[in-house]
Structure 1
Amino acid sequence: MIFVDATFIIAIASDIDQWHERAVEILPKIKKEKRITSELIISEIVTLVGALHGGKSALKIYNYIKDNYIIYKDDKLLDESMLELLKYDGTLSLADSSALTIMKKLNIHEIASFDDDFDNKDHVVRIH
């Protein structure tokens, strides 16, 4: 299993993204794994893709995620993610804190992300 961050999916979806070519290179490896993301990550993606490319593109990427990713849902996720946010003294966003929380809960060690905020975090290997 691999957790997939907003920066990776946005890079795949947007050919104007600085990481687009690298994401396309990595995608075949990622597709061999069970891919996990979360509602907070989807919110980031849909918001940015909508702002850059319009509502139809936002809907298209939303449907792509629903069809190709496991979307982690947990009623206690926000509360648990706040503990992660406090651990890093607010230097991570709530969405990033939730990604780390999910990864711990599911014993996932790899994250597909172009966000270096995930570097040097306990038991996390960033695929970029």
Structure 2
Amino acid sequence: MIVGDSSYFVALANRKDRWHRDAVRVSKSIRDRVLVTDMTVAEAVTIVGSRVGAKAGMALFQYFLDDCEVRFADLELTRRAMAAWLRYDGRLSVPDAISLEVMSQRGISRILSFDSDFDRVRGIERLR
């Protein structure tokens, strides 16, 4: 299992994104099931919709439903994630902190991301 960050999905869906070629390359090497949080889904679909168009955003949403495991954040997960967010002094976004908490809970050490903020986090490998 590997966690997907919104930056990866935005790059994959947007041919004009500076990381698009890298995202396509990485996507061809992924053999594990991808886990995303509902916050990642909302963030990625919103960005793709605004940059590429609503149809592209909807296609991405359908991809998440069909091909990824989506973890919905409940209150307890969100509280733990907010504690992590505080530890990083707000340098990670709340959606990123929720992804990190899910990674911790599930024993996942790899994340698909073009967000260098994840490099601050010990014990995870950022695939890019």
TM-score > 0.5 by shorter chain: yes
- How far, CA to CA, are the matches of 2:12 and 2:59 in structure 1? 13
Read off the aligned partner of 1:92 and give its amino acid letter: L
TM-score where L is the length of structure 2: 0.95
Q: How does 1:1-128 map to 2 (within 5 A)?
A: 1-30=1-30, 32-75=31-74, 76-128=76-128
Summarize deviations over 1:26-47 as a string: whole Å, max 9, x none: 11222x1011010000111011
**Pairwise CA RMSD of aligned residues?**
1.0
Gaps of 5+ in 1: none
How many pairs does the alignment contain?
A: 127
SS of 1:89's equivalent in the other structure is coil
TM-score where L is the length of structure 1: 0.95
Gaps of 5+ in 2: none
Q: What is the Cα deviation at residue 118 of structure 1?
A: 0.2
Summarize deviations over 1:48-104 as a string: whole Å, max 9, x none: 011112212111110011111100124122111101101111111101111110100
Q: What is the Cα deviation at residue 122 of structure 1?
A: 2.0
SS of 1:103's equivalent in the other structure is helix
Percent identity reads 32
